[in-house]
């Protein structure tokens, strides 16, 4: 099995997708909530602006599709590692067509594309945590064992372990990578049970950064040549206590990004982009 990936967190491209007006009324959600569409769109514009202008990634912006109210959450449609991309089969049937635009975008980047065609398989990218050494796949309402097996077939160089998700929508609803070997984890009992399973499954000893709020544990980590360690995380306005915890990461460029409206429909920071490291052709 592969060791830690050289350049973990090094990305050159990001795929994002605009928010359709249908998101406010028709996007899936675990709890009844009213979404302010214009505020959600402004938040998303800031998020995309950070990727494009502040961090200098080449951002591929896919158009919104009104028939796909959840389409802004591009993470669920594909898992990309190195030069390989797995087109997923999202667990919610209403989201399956989201993969079509994603497939076209990834093809244009000349990645090796695997398709999840097995009708017994489901997998949302929000359930996939890549640590640089291995994959953890949450078995949730949206992702099943067969989906995890197909991911393992697509990324044969890495160990793949499954983790039951008993609380929240996805595995990354309460955890993410905060740096090489560093897992950011929420404080709830289900989050810590999941972390314990991950630690038991792995040959590697991960460090952890615990934040009071589960959803605040969803962060976007990058290691960029011109910026060093970068972390997009919750704002102090949303989660003041969790935002304070990130200040411990003295070596990181910390970028608070608001996600208040998309969070009402179970969206998190990682949900809104697919990050890719596209090596220049020699």
Q: Would you say 139 and 180 are in contact if contact means Cβ atoms under 8 Å apart?
A: no
Three-state SS letters, the chain? CCCCCCCCCCCCEEEEECCCCCHHHHCCCCCCCCCCHHHHHHHHHHHHHHHHHHCCCEEEEECCCCCCCCCCCHHHHEEEECCEEEECCCCCHHHCCHHHHHHHHHHHCCCEEEECCCCCCCCCHHHEEECCCEEEEEECCCCCHHHHHHHHHHCCCCEEEEEECCCCCCHHHCEEEEECCEEEECCCHHHHHHHHHHHHHCCCCCEEEECCCCHHHCCEEEEECCCEEEEEECCCCCCHHHHHHHCCCCCEEEEECCCHHHHCCCCCHHHHCEEECCCCCC
**76 annotated to bind ligand:** yes
**42 annotated to bind ligand:** no
Q: What are 210's strand-pairing partners? A: 185
**237 annotated to bind ligand:** no
> Which of the residues 71, 81, 175, 271 is marked catalytic?
271
81 assigned to active site: no
272 assigned to active site: no
Give the Cα separation of 76 and 74 in Å (integer).
Answer: 5
**127 annotated to bind ligand:** no
> Which of the residues 44, 170, 233, 252 is marked catalytic?
170
**169 annotated to bind ligand:** no
Q: Binding site residues, as ranges? A: 28, 70, 75-76, 95, 142, 265
Positions annotated as catalytic residues are: 170, 271
């Amino acid at each position: 099995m592969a060791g830690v990936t050289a350049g973990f967190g090094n990305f050159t491209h990001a795929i994002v997708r605009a928010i359709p007006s249908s998101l406010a009324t028709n996007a899936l959600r675990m709890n009844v909530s009213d979404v302010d569409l214009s505020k959600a769109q402004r938040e998303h514009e800031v998020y995309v602006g950070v990727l494009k202008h502040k961090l200098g990634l080449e951002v591929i912006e896919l158009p919104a599709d009104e028939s796909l109210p959840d389409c802004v959450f591009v993470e669920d449609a594909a898992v990309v590692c190195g030069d390989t991309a797995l087109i997923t089969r999202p667990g919610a049937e209403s989201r399956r067509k989201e993969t079509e635009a994603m497939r076209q975008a990834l093809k244009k980047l000349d990645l090796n594309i695997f398709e999840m065609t097995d009708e017994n398989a489901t997998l949302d990218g929000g359930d996939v945590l890549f640590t640089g050494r291995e994959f953890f796949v949450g078995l949730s309402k949206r992702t099943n064992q067969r989906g995890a097996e197909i991911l393992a077939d697509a990324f044969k160089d890495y160990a793949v372990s499954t983790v039951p998700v008993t609380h929240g929508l996805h595995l990354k609803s309460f955890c993410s990578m905060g740096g090489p070997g560093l897992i950011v984890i929420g404080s709830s009992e289900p989050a810590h049970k999941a972390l314990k399973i991950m630690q038991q499954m792995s040959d590697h000893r991960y460090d952890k950064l615990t934040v009071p709020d589960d959803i605040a544990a969803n962060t976007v980590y990058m290691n960029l040549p011109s910026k060093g360690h970068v972390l997009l995380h919750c704002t102090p306005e949303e989660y003041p206590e969790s935002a304070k915890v990130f200040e411990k990461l003295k070596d990181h460029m910390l970028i608070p990004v608001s996600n208040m409206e998309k969070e009402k429909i179970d969206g998190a920071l990682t949900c809104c982009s697919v990050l890719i490291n596209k090596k220049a052709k020699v």
